Amino acid sequence: MTYIYSFLFVGFICLIAQILFDNFNLTNGHITSIFVVVGAILGFFNLYDKFAYYVGSGASVPIMSFGNLLYKAAYYGYHTNGFLGIFSNMLTTTSAGITAAIIFSFICIIFSKPKN
């Protein structure tokens, strides 16, 4: 049943993104930024963890998870190191994903030919 919930959760997020893209004058970057902020807001109200509990690993796939992780790391950094901990700890939970995105993008560039 977890597979179905994960599929429906991610599909619902994609549906919202497609509705935003079709009905408003937003680019892909705008929509991505909106979802990161929504994920951070859901993390602030402790709702994203509830989604992750019911949905399973499907909640860690969308870009909203990135916003939630940024919020959690900044919150933890604030409690351990004060105000400067917000900035010094923010990317600790997401650094592996960012590094993987950079490396895989580089590998894709090696094997692809740009169009003129």
Name 18's Cβ contacts closer than 8 Å, sequence gap at least 6.
none
| Residue 48 in tokens | 């994203």
Contact 51, 42 (CB under 8 A): yes
Angle value at C-alpha 21, between 16 and 24, nearest 5 degrees: 105
> Which pLDDT score is estimated for 38?
95
> Which pLDDT score is estimated for 11?
93
Q: Kindly list the averaged pLDDT for each block of 10 residues, start to end, along the chain of length 116.
A: 90 94 93 94 93 87 89 93 88 86 92 78
Distance (Å, whole) CA 106 – CA 1: 37
> Which pLDDT score is estimated for 57?
83
Hey, what's the torsion of the CAs at 58, 3, 9, 105, to 10 degrees? 40
Name 53's Cβ contacts closer than 8 Å, sequence gap at least 6.
none
> Which pLDDT score is estimated for 68?
92
CA-nearest of 1, 3, 9 to 65 is 9
Distance (Å, whole) CA 11 – CA 9: 5
Residue owning tokens 């499907």: 58
